[in-house]
Structure 1
Amino acid sequence: MVIKLENVSLQSLIDFLKKTGVKITLTRFILLKTFTDNPDVHFDFNRLLKIVKKEDPNYGVATLYRNLNMLVKKNIISVNTINNVKYYEIITPQKGNIHIHLICKYCNNVEEYLGYEVMQFLNLVKNKYGFDINYGSINAYGICKKCKQKVQE
């Protein structure tokens, strides 16, 4: 069964998962709420674990891994490896399925670029190679404004 997710409110995610046969447990609810409350945050595993353990001290490592893997398979969150660390983020209609991560090589801050030019570039790739891109992200490494200012001081 293919169900298209139109928005990322907590209730819409719960409804979507129920329609695909996924039971909504307390641990899944806590994780979904964490992502919907922070749609622009890129979480590493340890940060997520600290957050969910505040809500439920019994939230285990294995449970978090299982829930993250399930949410990735359901295309609710994406996982991206940056500097050998996996980061998880919610997929939103505003981001679309493809965006650029601007990663500061000094402080590891991650910003997103979602401009029209990204889609123009992907259309060029599609036209040249006949390759339909469904989802993904592009990582660009450099120095952020804050770190650049610190270096100049």
Structure 2
Amino acid sequence: MENASLQNLVDFLKKTGVKITLTRLILLKTFTNNPDVHFDFNSLLSIVRKEDSNYGIATLYRNLDMLIEKNIISVNTIDNVKYYELITPQKGSIHIHLICKHCKNVEEYSGYEIIQFLNLIKDKYGFDINYGSINVYGICKKCREKAKE
């Protein structure tokens, strides 16, 4: 195994009764080697097929569903496209996606202020928040600077 994060995920899946197949390992490596990337389905399929040219569409869907169910990855819909990302402790269970309307770049932010804000909501509505993400759309700094030129 190439890194501890990958090994930890493999160990976790084995403990929960999931068989570690080559296709699952390829997908896990893709996520652990790119922990900050938001993958759409087609880009994931392209990447995993570089490792295994026979990697099937249905296999990828099944593996993604299983990883979502095991809370290893999350799925988020942005502009009607599903994006998959590795859940990491650094991101926290709740974070904000800052999505540029021009270049479609996605930045993430998680900080104490978000938790404070959500605690206010929790107190006001009595809603126990476990996890989530918030999508915020705008124009990134690079695109604003390009527009000035």
What aligned pairs does 1:35-114 form with structure 2 within 5 A after superposition? Answer: 35-114=31-110
Cα distance per residue 1:25-65 (max 9 Å; x no partner) = 00000000100011100000000001000000010111000
CA distance in 1, matches of 2:91, 2:50: 28
1:14 paired with 2:10, answer yes
* Pick aligned residue for 1:142 from 124, 135, 138: 138
| Residue 131 of structure 1, aligned match among 119, 127, 136 | 127
Match of 1:121 in 2: 117
For the residue of structure 1 that corresponds to 2:104, the secondary structure is coil
CA distance in 1, matches of 2:125, 2:72: 28
Measured after TM superposition, the shift of residue 152 of structure 1 is 1.1
Deviation of residue 115 (structure 1)? 1.5
CA RMSD of aligned residues (A): 0.8
Give the TM-score, by structure 1 length: 0.94
Aligned-pair distance for 1:77?
0.2
Identity score, percent: 81
Corresponding residue SS for 1:34: helix
Gaps of 5+ in 1: 1-7
Q: How far apart are residue 114 of structure 1 and its match?
A: 1.0
| 2:23 paired residue number | 27
Equivalenced residues, count: 146
Counterpart in 2 of 1:5?
none
Quick one: which amino acid aligns to residue 29 of structure 1? L
- Unpaired runs of 5+ residues, structure 2, are none
* 4+ residue runs over 6 A deviation: none
Separation in structure 1 between the aligned mates of residue 127 and residue 97 of structure 2, nearest angstrom: 22
